Structure 1
């Protein structure tokens, strides 16, 4: 069995696909299988996949587009490795990415899922997400702080926790999964740049923003239900303003409203103890002061 199974869903990414595949097949850790799932592409992606000759590649072709959640869950079912890594067909992995992540997981047996730092520009800057579980749990209230295509999971954890992606949260299936796992698994981020995360107009955040926003709202509300909170439209708009670092400190009323909302969340959390109080207070302070992690 391979040390690592890499799951790569593909849908109409012919322009970037070969580069993404090469960055996995040329990894310094060679004991891997690459599971490529073409989800009914119509742009020539399937032809590129057919031409790959590496015996470590397992190729699955859908006759029609079934959606990324179906492809991801199929990949989880097929994976045979000790670790399962994600990779998108339009990104580029550092050539030592899998070696570094596997070493981290080998040395930290309690960690179920780990992501990495990344850049959206070859010249930087490097984006580092919260590193330890309690920090990640808090920051997940505001944004998806684990980069999906950088993730590595233990296959034993996938089986033990019955990890699968949920069709009910379209275009935010990863955000939903990390939030769900934050209560029953241990999450981490490695503070190293191991991914080039490509930004382009065809990404979900650009093409399906309204659907993604609706899914994110339901995910955040589920988190806050642990505090006994059901946000009104106005209160949710305040949470989004905090999450997007848009509080205008020069507007006294706006700033005061943000501080009041933050103090209310802290007090409700003090009663229920869902989040680490110090970390939640720090995160809210950074949101208000527009100081991203």
Structure 2
């Protein structure tokens, strides 16, 4: 069996898919299988994939489009490696990505899920997400701070917990999964760039933004429920303004509402101890003060 399984779902991405695949096949770490799942592409992606001859590649072709969640879960079920890594068909992994992430997991047996930093393919600044488990747990109430195509997970954890992506959370299935797993396993983020994240009009976050935002709100409400809170429409809007760094410190009404909301949540957290109180306070302070992590 290979040390690692890389899951790469594809749907109508002929412009970028070969570059994404090539970035995995030229990894400095070579003990892996690459599971490519073409989900009923109609733009020639399937033909391009069919021409790949590397013996480490496992090709799965769907006659019709079943959706990303179905492909991801199929990949989880097919994977035979000790570790499972995610890859998107429009991104580029750095040549040492597998070696860096597998080495970290080998040396940190208590970590079951690990993400990493990434850089936009347009040459942007490296994006470093919160590193420690408690930081990740706290910031997940605000943002999806685990970059999906940088993820590595232990296959043993996947099987032990029966982990599957949930189709009830369209276009935010990864955000839902991390919010679920963070209460069950230890997570981390490496401050090392392992991916060039391509930004383009065809990506999910651009095509399905409204659905993604609505789904993310439902996921956050599930987390607020653990604090004994059911947010009203007005309270949801305040939270949205906070996490999107839209609070105007010179607008007394907006600023006081945001502070009142933050203190309300912090008071509830003192009762339930869902999050580290200091980190939760810091997260609210940074968002209100327009200081992203």
Q: TM-score range by the shorter chain?
A: over 0.9
Match of residue 23 from structure 1? 23
Match status 1:78 vs 2:78: yes
Deviates more, 1:11-20 or 1:209-218: 209-218
Residue in structure 1 matched with residue 277 of structure 2 by the alignment: 277
Residue equivalent to 1:12: 12
Residue 161 (structure 1) shift: 1.3
1:132 match: 132
Q: Call closer, same or farther: CA 1:122–1:199 in 2, change over 3 Å.
A: closer
**Contact 2:245-2:287 at 8 Å conserved across structures:** yes
Verify: 1:216 aligned to 2:243, yes or no: no
Distance 2:139 2:6 in 1: 27
Query: Which residue in the other structure is 2:292 paired with?
Result: 292
- Work out the CA distance in 2 between the residues paired with 1:254 and 1:122: 35
- Residue of structure 1 in register with 2:249 after alignment: 249
- 1:202 alignment partner in structure 2: 202
Shift of 1:43: 0.4
2:185 counterpart residue number = 185
Q: For 2:108 and 2:122, locate their aligned partners in 1 and report how far apart those are by CA, in whole Å.
A: 30
Distance 1:168 1:122 in 2: 33
Q: Say whether 1:146 aligns with 2:146.
A: yes
SS of the residue 1:60 aligns to:
strand
Tell me, which stretches of 5 or more residues in structure 2 are unaligned?
none
Q: TM-score, normalised by structure 1?
A: 0.99
Aligned residues: 293
Q: Is 1:38 the equivalent of 2:38?
A: yes
Q: 2:11 touches 2:38 (CA, 8 Å); kept in 1?
A: yes
Map of 1:51 onto structure 2? 51
Matches within 5 A, 1:74-113: 74-113=74-113
The answer for unaligned runs of 5 or more in structure 1 is none
Deviation at 1:252, TM superposition (A): 1.4
Residues 179-222 of structure 1, C-alpha deviation per residue, up to 9 Å, x if partnerless? 00011011110010111011111111111112111211110000
Kept in 1, the 8 Å contact 2:122–2:198? The answer is no
Shift, 1:256, TM fit: 1.1
Moved over 2 A (4+): 121-124
In structure 1, the partner of 2:268 is 268
Q: Which moved more, 1:47-56 or 1:204-213?
A: 204-213
Aligned to 2:89, the other structure's residue is in SS state coil
* C-alpha separation in 2, matches of 1:123 and 1:59: 32
Deviations 1:228-251 (A, max 9, x none): 000000000111111111111121
> Residue 122 of structure 1: CA displacement?
5.0
Query: Aligned-pair RMSD on alpha carbons?
Result: 0.7
Give TM-score scaled by structure 2 length. Answer: 0.99
